[in-house]
């Protein structure tokens, strides 16, 4: 965490020699705290102070970037425990596990489908971040062959999972110039895997069942010179996993350096149906930097990608669309006018329904500061006056013959006032949910 000016001052020579260009060391310290000058401007800072200042400038959770042949996955640099305090920054990478014991054909199908997977969510394309290739066979040649095959199929970043450094080394040979993550180091073999990570510029994952174990390995790995670490708190069960991940995040934010790294979570495909989805969702909400799924299935991946998008949205800046009149399916003068707010989820829900049903409509999107209909209505940002203002401002009357306007069902209470604001218009109350709009338009609005 950044130091205050007075704390920096204590690390300076305190001789007020003015060589830095400031009248006193304190003045210089204040400028440093405000990041307006570089420490180099003072020729007399001791090495020890430099080290302390450099450490204090480091983010509490190190940014670790995995690099593939094409694409990166970044984790870390988080600064809060709760998203409302600021925001969560780096969306956890979602990886699909591929065991090298699986048949070539199966691997090709999984990697092909998962690497090309792209789904549209409120106008954004969401996809997966990479693959975790597991050396389950224990065979060097086999792992190398599978890593080679995966790499030939996709450029996305890779995680190599295995406990035997020699086998991992064979996989790494297939990934020159990349920064994969080596996963499988624990108390017994970490040193050899750390050497391998150093040699290849890979990130090093450390597995341990307790914070003590993880912190101890992390400190030793740091001393060896490995900078990019990823922690794997190996816990049985959602509760233990939640506790360990929360403790790591809390300690890291309190500047406890040994645990100041992103974490990784593996969801086992075993267990009852749906258990992996729930475990992965917890990992996304509660602090994982990387999440490895045991299988690829769109009905599992799509909700997780959406959850990740939602949790990592900046709470101070709801995703918005431009207030305007939007044309859906080339509306003519006979098409109805629908009204909603400029919260992007709201806009896309409405627009997608109407567009998908092939119905022409004019969609008036009001400036509700990016709030959904209900929230905006409660906050007074979506009322008769603001709807009327939008209808007039966008010149809607000139576009239609029939002055018919449909307001969201949740805001039925606005119809009276809106009739007063827009006396030439007929106000109709639509359904509460966008999903029911096509039926309403076909059956009621005729």
Partner 1 sequence: MPVEIPKDSWPGAVNTVTLGATGDQGGSRTSTVTIGGERSLPFMHFESPMPHRPAIAMEIAPARPADWSAVLLEAWGATADDPGSWARACEEAGADLILLQFGLKGSGDEPVSADFAVAAVKAVLGSTGLPLVVVGPGQAEVDNSILVPIADATKGERLVLGLCEEGNYRTLVAAAMANDHLVLGKTPMDVNLAKQLNILMSDMGLGRDRVVMDPTTAALGYGIEYGYSVMERLRLAALQGDGMTQFPILVTPGAEAWKAKESKVGEGTPAEWGEWRQRGMNWEALTAVSLVEAGAHVVVLRHPESLRRVRAAIDELMASETA
Pairing outcome for strands 203-208 and 229-233:
parallel
Judged by CB, which is closer to ligand SF4: 35, or 125?
35
Pick what 215 binds: ligand SF4, partner 1, none; C-beta below 5 to 8 Å, kind-dependent: partner 1
Judged by CB, which is closer to ligand SF4: 41, or 234?
41
Pick what 22 binds: ligand SF4, partner 1, none; C-beta below 5 to 8 Å, kind-dependent: ligand SF4
Q: CA–CA separation, 313 vs 326, rounded Å?
A: 25
Choose, by CB under 8 A, the member of 375, 399, 403, 415 that binds partner 1: 375
Query: Which of these, 295, 356, 350, 297, lies nearest to 326 by C-alpha position?
Result: 350
User: DSSP readout, 374-398?
Assistant: HHHHHTTSSSHHHHHHHHHHTTGGG
Cβ partners under 8 Å of residue 186, min gap 6: 163, 206, 207, 208, 217
Q: How far is the CB of 52 from ligand SF4 (least distance, A)?
A: 15
Tokens coding 270: 């075993």
Give the rounded distance of the alpha carbon of 35 from its chain centre.
28
Q: CA 64, 66, 71, 75 torsion: positive or negative?
A: negative
Any contact of residue 234 with partner 1 (CB under 8 A)? no
Q: How far is the CB of 255 from ligand SF4 (least distance, A)?
A: 25
Count CB neighbours of 105 within 10 A. Answer: 8
Q: Which residues form the interface with ligand SF4 (CB under 6 A)?
A: 12-13, 15-20, 22, 25, 28, 42, 44
Pick what 160 binds: ligand SF4, partner 1, none; C-beta below 5 to 8 Å, kind-dependent: none
Any contact of residue 55 with partner 1 (CB under 8 A)? no
Q: How far is the CB of 20 from ligand SF4 (least distance, A)?
A: 3
Judged by CB, which is closer to ligand SF4: 15, or 426?
15
Q: How far is the CB of 135 from partner 1 (least distance, A)?
A: 29
Query: Which of these, 132, 152, 153, 133, lies nearest to 142 by C-alpha position?
Result: 133
Burial class of residue 121 in the structure, from the number of CB atoms within 10 Å of its CB (0-12 exposed, 13-18 middle, 19+ buried) = middle
Judged by CB, which is closer to ligand SF4: 19, or 166?
19
Residues from 198 through 217 that contact partner 1 (CB under 8 A) = 210-212, 215-216
Pick what 258 binds: partner 1, ligand SF4, none; C-beta below 5 to 8 Å, kind-dependent: partner 1
Residues 401/424, Cβ–Cβ less than 8 Å: no
Q: How far is the CB of 43 from ligand SF4 (least distance, A)?
A: 6
Choose, by CB under 8 A, the member of 185, 231, 288, 301 that binds partner 1: 301
Choose, by CB under 8 A, the member of 150, 286, 325, 337 that binds partner 1: 286
Residues from 70 through 89 that contact partner 1 (CB under 8 A) = 82-84
Query: Which of these, 108, 3, 66, lies nearest to 264 by C-alpha position?
Result: 66
Pick what 246 binds: ligand SF4, partner 1, none; C-beta below 5 to 8 Å, kind-dependent: partner 1
Any contact of residue 374 with partner 1 (CB under 8 A)? yes
Q: How far is the CB of 408 from partner 1 (least distance, A)?
A: 13
Q: CA–CA separation, 400 vs 332, rounded Å?
A: 7
Q: How far is the CB of 105 from partner 1 (least distance, A)?
A: 22
Residues from 339 through 368 that contact partner 1 (CB under 8 A) = 343, 345, 349, 352-353, 356
DSSP 435: G
Residues 365/325, Cβ–Cβ less than 8 Å: yes
Q: How far is the CB of 280 from partner 1 (least distance, A)?
A: 9
Residues from 390 through 409 that contact partner 1 (CB under 8 A) = none
Residues 256/241, Cβ–Cβ less than 8 Å: no
Judged by CB, which is closer to partner 1: 210, or 426?
210
Place of tokens 């809060």: 80
Q: For partner 1, which stretch binds (CB under 8 A), given 2-10, 180-188, 271-279, 397-405? A: 271-279
Residues 370/382, Cβ–Cβ less than 8 Å: no
DSSP 413: G
For 126, phi then psi, to 5°, come to -110, 145
Strands (E), 219-359: 229-233, 263-266, 288-293, 324-328, 337-341
Q: How far is the CB of 2 from ligand SF4 (least distance, A)?
A: 18
């Amino acid at each position: 965490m950044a130091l205050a000016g007075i704390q920096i001052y204590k690390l300076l020579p305190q001789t007020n020699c003015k060589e830095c260009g400031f009248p006193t060391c304190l003045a210089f310290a204040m400028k440093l705290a405000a990041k307006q000058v570089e420490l180099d401007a003072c020729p007399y800072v001791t090495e020890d102070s430099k080290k302390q200042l450099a450490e204090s400038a480091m983010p509490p959770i190190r940014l670790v970037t995995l690099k593939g042949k094409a694409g990166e996955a970044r984790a870390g640099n988080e600064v809060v425990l709760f998203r409302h305090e600021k925001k969560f920054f780096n969306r956890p990478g979602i990886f699909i596990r591929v065991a090298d014991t699986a048949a070539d054909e199966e691997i090709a199908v999984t990697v092909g489908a998962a690497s090309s997977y792209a789904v549209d969510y409120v106008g954004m394309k969401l996809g997966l971040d990479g693959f975790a290739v597991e050396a389950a066979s224990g065979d060097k040649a086999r792992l190398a062959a599978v890593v080679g095959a995966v790499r030939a199929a996709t450029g996305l970043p890779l995680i190599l999972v295995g406990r035997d450094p020699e086998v991992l080394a064979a996989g790494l040979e297939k990934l020159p110039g990349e920064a994969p993550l080596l996963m499988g180091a624990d108390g017994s073999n970490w040193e050899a895997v750390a050497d391998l990570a150093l040699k290849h510029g890979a990130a090093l994952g450390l597995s341990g069942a307790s914070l003590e174990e993880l912190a101890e390995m992390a400190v030793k790995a740091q001393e060896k010179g490995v900078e990019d670490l990823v922690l794997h708190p190996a816990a049985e069960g959602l509760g233990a996993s939640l506790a360990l991940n929360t403790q790591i995040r809390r300690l890291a934010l309190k500047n406890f350096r040994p645990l100041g790294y992103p974490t990784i979570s593996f969801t086992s495909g075993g267990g009852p149906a749906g258990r992996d989805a729930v475990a992965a969702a917890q990992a996304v909400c509660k602090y994982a930097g990387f999440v490895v799924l045991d299988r690829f299935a769109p009905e599992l991946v799509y909700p997780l990608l959406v959850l990740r998008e939602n949790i990592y949205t900046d709470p101070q800046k709801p995703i918005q669309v431009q207030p305007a009149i939007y044309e859906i399916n080339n509306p003519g003068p006979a098409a109805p006018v629908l009204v909603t707010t400029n919260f992007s989820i709201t806009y896309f829900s409405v627009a997608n329904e109407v567009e998908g049903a092939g119905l022409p409509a004019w969609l008036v999107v009001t400036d509700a500061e990016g709030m959904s209909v209900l929230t905006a209505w409660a906050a007074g940002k979506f009322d008769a006056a603001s709807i009327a203002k939008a209808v007039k401002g966008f010149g809607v009357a000139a576009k239609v013959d029939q002055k018919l306007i449909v307001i969201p069902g949740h805001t039925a209470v606005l119809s009276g006032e809106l009739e007063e604001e827009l006396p030439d218009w007929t106000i109709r109350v639509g359904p509460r949910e966008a999903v029911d709009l096509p039926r309403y338009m076909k059956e009621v609005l005729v």
